[in-house]
Amino acid sequence: MLLFSFPAGGFGTNCYLLAAEPGGPCLVVDPGQAATDPLLRLFAEHRLEPAALLLTHGHMDHSWCARELGERTGAPTVLHAADRFMLADPAAPLPPAFPGRLLTGYPQDEPERLTLLEGSADLELAGLRVRAHHSPGHTEGSTMFRVDPVRDGDPALLFTGDTLLADRPGDSGLPGGSRTRLESSLRRVCGPLDDSTVLLPGHGPAAALGTARRALPLLRGATA
């Protein structure tokens, strides 16, 4: 499997590109601010064609380039329906004190091709088996995407967005957030997963789930 990541734009949101192999379809996770040009270079270098753009949630630092990238490539954007409103109104889920100037340049319109999730779902995309886990808590529509390994012995990948970082649960203090629901989501999604699962968060470094379980009391009893 190919996997690339880079911090996108001034918000430093992790943008990911993954593919089963070079020269075929690929997936993009969270194309944030200024992500389009780096992604286009990766597509060209590895002869990749984006099959879908996955958004872990609707916050603007994760969705900034989804519309532009969709227009350039034809790839649909996949997002939970509960976060759809954020694509056209990025200020709505932000606190009143958030500086409006930081939204300058956001398209404030939906991608032309939009696939809306109504809950959790099993997806077959770009030759990969993907489980979309609806994980409310950071936002109502937050979704963690688990990608099954291509080869036996490889770890599964879990793109956690802002629901779970390498060393702590995500923020639940923004409008639409809920600490109770976030913790419930983490227990439900992470509980059945193997320690070898690689956590790929929206900000900061990656980590093995087993390492996160040792560091986070919330996840130690996740299977209960």
Residue 149: the pLDDT is 96
CATH number at 109 reads 3.60.15.10
Residue ranges in the chain modelled with pLDDT below 70: 220-224
pLDDT of residue 166: 95
Give the Cα separation of 139 and 156 in Å (integer): 24
pLDDT recorded at residue 87: 97
pLDDT attached to residue 175: 92
Predicted confidence at residue 51, as pLDDT, reads 99
For residue 107, the enclosing domain spans 2-220
Please count the other Cβ atoms lying within 10 Å of the Cβ belonging to residue 123.
Answer: 18
Confidence (pLDDT) at 221: 54
Cβ atoms of 138 and 177 closer than 8 Å:
yes
- Number of domains into which the chain is organized: 1
The pLDDT assigned to 222 comes to 45
- What residues form DSSP beta bridges with 158? 146, 199
Assess contact for 12 and 184: CB atoms under 8 A.
no
pLDDT, tens only, 142-197: 999 999 999 999 999 999 999 999 999 999 999 999 999 999 999 999 989 999 99
